[in-house]
Amino acid sequence: MLKSEKEFTVRFDAAERVVYLYTCFPGDWRRAEQKGHQPVQRHFRDGCETARQYRLPLDCFHYGFRAVDRPRRAPPTWLWKPKIHHKEKGNASRPAKKRGR
Protein backbone atom coordinates (compact mmCIF):
# COMPACT_ATOMS: atom_id res chain seq x y z
CA MET A 1 0.00 0.00 0.00
CA LEU A 2 1.34 3.40 -0.97
CA LYS A 3 1.47 6.39 1.34
CA SER A 4 -0.84 8.30 -1.01
CA GLU A 5 -3.46 5.56 -0.59
CA LYS A 6 -3.70 6.35 3.13
CA GLU A 7 -4.16 10.09 2.67
CA PHE A 8 -7.05 11.86 4.35
CA THR A 9 -8.01 15.49 4.74
CA VAL A 10 -10.26 16.87 7.46
CA ARG A 11 -12.04 20.21 7.00
CA PHE A 12 -14.08 21.73 9.81
CA ASP A 13 -16.91 24.21 9.24
CA ALA A 14 -17.64 26.02 12.52
CA ALA A 15 -20.73 27.81 11.21
CA GLU A 16 -22.50 24.62 10.12
CA ARG A 17 -20.87 22.40 12.80
CA VAL A 18 -19.88 19.93 10.10
CA VAL A 19 -16.69 18.02 9.35
CA TYR A 20 -15.77 17.26 5.75
CA LEU A 21 -13.60 14.16 5.43
CA TYR A 22 -11.75 13.32 2.20
CA THR A 23 -10.07 9.93 2.37
CA CYS A 24 -8.25 7.64 -0.04
CA PHE A 25 -8.08 4.66 2.34
CA PRO A 26 -10.68 1.88 1.89
CA GLY A 27 -10.43 1.04 5.59
CA ASP A 28 -11.76 4.51 6.40
CA TRP A 29 -14.57 4.02 3.89
CA ARG A 30 -15.63 0.79 5.60
CA ARG A 31 -15.47 2.33 9.08
CA ALA A 32 -17.53 5.35 8.04
CA GLU A 33 -20.17 3.26 6.30
CA GLN A 34 -20.40 0.80 9.20
CA LYS A 35 -21.33 3.76 11.39
CA GLY A 36 -24.10 4.82 8.98
CA HIS A 37 -22.37 7.65 7.07
CA GLN A 38 -22.73 7.78 3.29
CA PRO A 39 -20.21 9.33 0.88
CA VAL A 40 -21.14 12.73 -0.53
CA GLN A 41 -18.81 12.38 -3.48
CA ARG A 42 -16.76 9.57 -5.02
CA HIS A 43 -13.57 10.20 -6.99
CA PHE A 44 -12.47 7.94 -9.85
CA ARG A 45 -9.26 7.66 -11.86
CA ASP A 46 -8.92 5.30 -14.85
CA GLY A 47 -12.19 3.60 -13.93
CA CYS A 48 -11.09 2.80 -10.35
CA GLU A 49 -12.46 4.48 -7.27
CA THR A 50 -9.60 6.33 -5.58
CA ALA A 51 -11.23 8.50 -2.90
CA ARG A 52 -14.46 9.33 -1.13
CA GLN A 53 -15.68 12.46 0.57
CA TYR A 54 -17.96 12.38 3.62
CA ARG A 55 -19.93 15.12 5.38
CA LEU A 56 -20.13 14.25 9.08
CA PRO A 57 -21.89 16.05 11.92
CA LEU A 58 -19.31 17.48 14.30
CA ASP A 59 -20.73 15.44 17.18
CA CYS A 60 -19.92 12.22 15.29
CA PHE A 61 -16.27 12.97 14.57
CA HIS A 62 -13.40 12.79 17.04
CA TYR A 63 -10.46 11.62 14.94
CA GLY A 64 -12.53 8.53 14.39
CA PHE A 65 -16.13 7.71 13.68
CA ARG A 66 -19.16 7.42 15.88
CA ALA A 67 -22.59 6.24 14.85
CA VAL A 68 -25.06 9.02 14.09
CA ASP A 69 -27.51 7.90 16.81
CA ARG A 70 -24.80 7.45 19.49
CA PRO A 71 -24.48 10.35 21.98
CA ARG A 72 -21.14 11.86 22.99
CA ARG A 73 -19.55 10.21 25.98
CA ALA A 74 -18.76 12.23 29.08
CA PRO A 75 -15.16 13.42 29.49
CA PRO A 76 -13.05 11.55 32.06
CA THR A 77 -13.30 12.88 35.61
CA TRP A 78 -9.54 12.83 36.18
CA LEU A 79 -9.25 15.88 33.93
CA TRP A 80 -10.67 18.10 36.69
CA LYS A 81 -8.56 16.80 39.58
CA PRO A 82 -5.67 19.11 40.46
CA LYS A 83 -2.23 17.57 40.14
CA ILE A 84 0.07 17.86 43.12
CA HIS A 85 3.74 17.93 42.23
CA HIS A 86 6.28 17.24 44.95
CA LYS A 87 9.78 18.56 44.59
CA GLU A 88 12.50 16.06 45.23
CA LYS A 89 15.64 17.11 47.04
CA GLY A 90 18.42 15.56 45.00
CA ASN A 91 17.86 12.13 43.62
CA ALA A 92 17.62 9.91 46.71
CA SER A 93 16.82 6.80 44.70
CA ARG A 94 20.30 6.74 43.13
CA PRO A 95 23.42 6.37 45.24
CA ALA A 96 26.18 8.82 44.47
CA LYS A 97 28.89 7.48 42.14
CA LYS A 98 32.31 7.02 43.63
CA ARG A 99 35.09 8.34 41.51
CA GLY A 100 38.10 6.11 41.73
CA ARG A 101 41.41 7.41 40.48
Q: What percent of the chain has pLDDT over 70?
A: 68
The Cα diameter of the chain in Å comes to 76
pLDDT band at 72 (very low <50, low <70, confident <90, very high): confident
Helix or strand or coil: residue 59? helix
User: Dihedrals φ, ψ of 23, to 5°?
Assistant: -135, 145
Question: Does residue 92 surpass a pLDDT of 70?
Answer: no
Segment 60-78 mean pLDDT: 72
What is the structure's pLDDT at 40?
Answer: 94
Distance, in Å, from the CA atom of 34 to the CA atom of 66, rounded to the nearest integer, reads 9
1 confidence band (pLDDT: 50, 70, 90): low
pLDDT: which is higher, 95 or 79: 79
